Structure 1
Amino acid sequence: MKSPTAITPVTIPEVRPPEVSAPAPDADITHTKGLTPRLEAWVQAGTSSRPLYLGETVGAGTKLQLRYDPQGRRFVTLAGRDSNGIVEVYGTVAGGEPGLTSAPFALTLDDSKGEQAFFAICTDDRPSSEAVMSAVKHNPVRMNGAAVSSVVVRKD
């Protein structure tokens, strides 16, 4: 049995993404059946970055950039949960254009061991931080009116 490890929250920059507003409510919303949002973790190394490899384990101090494609949803709320169940909501951004978009911040991993799960909660209405925190606390992560994508990072 593993012994508990000390928890140090993921370090995020002091600057949070600015509040954003969705397109006008009368704008047409089109969702294609079967398309699900995408979330990827990219490892930053100096001035370049690369996708996190499947099954790769990373250490403390690794900088990650989350990239998402909300598949037409108006808002993307990015959140994380560590192996001890600690949940953080990093912020909500506008859905943006089709294709992968980099989050307006990077994350520096702490020295806690285990898995760190990251989530993109994609919605047409801005969710409250409380609703996102409640949804992310439990598996499977579900929230009414939301499409959820996730990526799990193994930390040593």
Structure 2
Amino acid sequence: MVKYHNFDVVFAEIPDEVTLAINLTNCPNRCPGCHSPHLRADGGEPLDDGGLLALLGKYARSVTCVCFMGGDAEPQEVARLARVAKRAFPALRTGWYSGRERLPEGVAAEAFDYVKLGSWIEKRGPLTAPGTNQRLYRVGAGGTMTDITERFRRSS
């Protein structure tokens, strides 16, 4: 069962989107230097269909995207929840921030509009850093994934 610690409306996680970011717990990745080590614990509130739809019912008019932050312990369930969100709120885009290097087997990219892949490597930095190993992809028709990481770079 997917659980979440908290959520917030954010503006920097997905370019050009006002995003409801839901921080999922039980992270198995254990990245050194992780900025959210509290998300490693198997705690928080269950995020089932009803809980997700209740959150979206409160925020869907104020956001353009819902992004699942984590969930690597149960990637198929995260993808399923993304599909639930899309069915209930067709105009809402969906995203997943994963610490995995690639999409797990059995998880279709089409469940999402955006996917961030890559473990946290402190010396490589976040998506805004030129040397980051992390990538943000825009998912297109047929599950094609276009790297849009450069959208995080500020022009001088």
Structure number having the greater helix percentage: 2
Task: With a CA cutoff of 8 Å and minimum separation of 6, indicate the structure with the bigger relative contact order.
Answer: 1
Return the TM-score normalized by structure 1. 0.27
Return the TM-score normalized by structure 2. 0.27
Structure number having the greater strand percentage: 1
